[in-house]
Amino acid sequence: MTLIKSVSGIRGTIGGTVGENLTPPDIIKFTTAFIFIIRRKTGIPVPKIIVGRDARISGTMLTRLVLGTLQGMGARVVDIGLATTPTVEIAVLEEKAQGGIILTASHNPSQWNALKLLNDLGEFFSEQDGQDLINLIENHFDEIQFSPVEQIIEPISKSIYFAKHINLVVENKWVDTEAIRASNFSVIVDAVNSVGGTAIPALLKALGVKKIIELNCIPNGKFAHNPEPIPENLGEISEMMKHSKANVGFVVDPDVDRLAIINEDGTMFGEEYTLVAVADYILSQQPGNTVSNLSSTRALADITKKYGGTYSASAVGEANVVAEMKRTNAIIGGEGNGGVIFPELHYGRDALVGIAIFLTALAKSGLTCSKFRAKFPNYFISKNKIQLSDNIDIDKVLNKIKQDFSADKKVVVSDIDGVKLDFETGWVHIRKSNTEPILRIYAESATKSKADDLAGLVINKVTVR
């Protein structure tokens, strides 16, 4: 089964059997239920909805299904076409819309697609909203009423939001275009043949970068490599960095909410350190609180403490990070997968704002990218995953791990999202993925071998049970 229903939407592989893969009836059901929930939450009978998509080959088909279903429910629809996830989030705010739908499966390969669902704040659905939607589909879908013909409204198209998004980023008070321009950076961009191929070069030009080398920037949806921006998928840009004399490389995922950075020598800056570097600069200008999820590096907590702020950890998932940021009045936050959330713009992961603030910080440091990376506390993360199968009882596994370590006073055990074990020398976090049929087991310590050892403690318990 490759259809995943979660609180933030529906994700699956295109084609196949209804209810087991991402098929037209599944798209129609989720879109219909989404509008019903939006109406109930906002009390607005004719809600305005923003729709945007990444460049996946299946995107035009899904767009037609979504637009037609929204029409059938009597919604006013603004189709912004090819757009990054953060661009759609900003469009919801700018249009004062009641919600949004982004057609993207983020870092998943090209056979996948998904509906990401936004509320009237341009933020992902809460867990409660998502549960209400799934309950509606499973138990009350036949009660939903579609609109009569006289209430059907033709969608309108707007293509202005890339420019609006870029302008908001460039005009932010912490972004220093003069410093960036004076540094005369040479930048390589790998946009994995999706919407970042349009957005990121345009952003860099607006920031004053004169030499931009485009790699996989034609947004045709034919991903040149596995689209998750992690080291094993970034060999091509890494080799280019070694020979091009570029100052920095940027890699984004298909919907441009994750940002990986490549040093001038082709080494990885580290996706965990995208947020750390951006947060360090913001905190140096305006001390405050920060948030990341339980699977993110301790380095963010270290630099937050250095500037006198308070760090908090949330459950994994953008909606959970945002909720904790609001609760703690955090000025910056995000996730260790290269996702930067900067509330001055909007509450969503945004690679564009990450690039602009990172280049500002790099320019003002006067350092090479690799020496800039060396400024920050150094930890190593071991990221592992186990494919789920019917014979793995996840709850039983997690309870056993929790019981095994609860008696150890030197270990802090958290169960707000799977199980996290905090040791003096590092941590390990095991949880079921929200987006793939896998268990994720992440561990962090002062060396790669120690992180692998910590991960191994849990992996053995899962595999041997």
Residue partners of 197: CB distance under 8 A and separation at least 6: 55, 189, 191, 214, 216, 217, 218, 219
Whole-angstrom Cα distance, residue 332 to residue 277? 11
Do 333 and 239 belong together in one domain? yes
- CATH number assigned to the domain comprising residue 400: 3.30.310.50
For the cut 60, the answer to whether the pLDDT of residue 426 exceeds it is: yes
Lowest mean pLDDT segment, chosen from 19-23, 66-70, 326-330? 19-23
- In order of 4, 19, 61, 334, 454, the CA distances from 139 in angstroms are 18, 15, 27, 35, 43
Pairing of strands 112-118, 48-53: unpaired
pTM to 2 decimals? 0.94
- In order of 115, 337, 339, 341, the CA distances from 318 in angstroms are 15, 11, 9, 9
pLDDT tens for each residue of 252-310: 999 999 999 999 999 999 999 999 999 999 999 999 999 999 999 999 999 999 999 99
Q: Would you name the residues annotated as active-site residues?
A: 106
Distance of CA 238 to the CA centre of its chain: 22
Q: Average model confidence (pLDDT) for the chain?
A: 94
pLDDT of residue 258: 97
- In order of 79, 123, 145, 329, the CA distances from 29 in angstroms are 19, 21, 12, 37
pLDDT tens for each residue of 387-420: 877 677 788 888 888 888 888 888 999 999 999 9
The average pLDDT across 449-463 equals 86
- Residue where the block lists tokens 């759609």: 88
Do 415 and 335 belong together in one domain? no
Do 21 and 144 belong together in one domain? yes
Lowest mean pLDDT segment, chosen from 137-151, 245-259, 263-277, 324-338? 137-151
With cut-offs at 50, 70 and 90, classify the pLDDT of residue 100.
Answer: very high
pLDDT of residue 220: 97
pLDDT of residue 464: 55
Lowest mean pLDDT segment, chosen from 46-50, 321-325, 384-388? 384-388
Do 24 and 124 belong together in one domain? yes
CA angle centred on 126, ends 120 and 131, rounded to 5° = 120
Do 369 and 387 belong together in one domain? no
Determine what percent of the chain is predicted with pLDDT higher than 70.
98
Which residues face 445 on adjacent strands? 380, 426
Do 408 and 458 belong together in one domain? yes
Determine what percent of the chain is predicted with pLDDT higher than 90.
85
For residues 149-183, b (16+ Cβ closer than 10 Å) or e, as one string?
eeeeeebeebeebbeebbebbbebebbbbebbeeb
Lowest mean pLDDT segment, chosen from 1-10, 201-210, 313-322, 434-443? 1-10
pLDDT of residue 126: 87
For the cut 80, the answer to whether the pLDDT of residue 435 exceeds it is: no
Residue that is last in its domain, among 373, 393, 425: 373
Which DSSP letter does residue 140 get? S
pLDDT tens for each residue of 181-224: 999 999 999 999 999 999 999 999 999 999 999 999 999 999 99
- CATH number assigned to the domain comprising residue 84: 3.40.120.10
Among 175, 427, 119, 405, CA closest to 292: 427
Do 133 and 184 belong together in one domain? no
pLDDT of residue 463: 66
Pairing of strands 438-445, 380-387: antiparallel
Residue that is last in its domain, among 105, 135, 159: 159
What residue spans of 23-160 are helical by DSSP H? 24-42, 59-72, 85-94, 127-139
Domain membership of residue 426 as a residue range: 380-464
Burial of 312 per CB tally in 10 Å (0-12, 13-18, 19+): middle
Do 316 and 407 belong together in one domain? no
Do 195 and 137 belong together in one domain? no
Amino acid identity of residue 189, one-letter, is: V
Residue partners of 464: CB distance under 8 A and separation at least 6: none
pLDDT of residue 433: 80
pLDDT of residue 396: 84
Burial of 393 per CB tally in 10 Å (0-12, 13-18, 19+): exposed
Whole-angstrom Cα distance, residue 361 to residue 87? 23
450's enclosing H/E stretch is helix 448-464
Residue that is last in its domain, among 159, 194, 222: 159
Residue 87: how many other CB atoms lie within 10 Å = 27
Kindly state the tokens that stand for 121.
Answer: 């704040």
Which DSSP letter does residue 349 get? B
pLDDT of residue 1: 47
- Residue where the block lists tokens 């905190």: 283
Pairing of strands 412-414, 311-314: unpaired
- Residue where the block lists tokens 């991402």: 22
Do 182 and 270 belong together in one domain? yes
- Please answer whether residues 304 and 346 qualify as being in contact, where contact means their C-beta atoms are separated by less than 8 angstroms: no
In this structure, what are the phi and psi dihedrals at residue 426, rounded to the nearest 5 degrees? Answer: 160, -165
Kindly state the tokens that stand for 127.
Answer: 């867990």
Do 7 and 70 belong together in one domain? yes
Kindly state the tokens that stand for 400.
Answer: 């056993």
Question: How many domains does one find in the chain?
Answer: 3
Kindly state the tokens that stand for 339.
Answer: 């996702």
Do 188 and 243 belong together in one domain? yes
For the cut 60, the answer to whether the pLDDT of residue 366 exceeds it is: yes
The average pLDDT across 170-174 equals 98
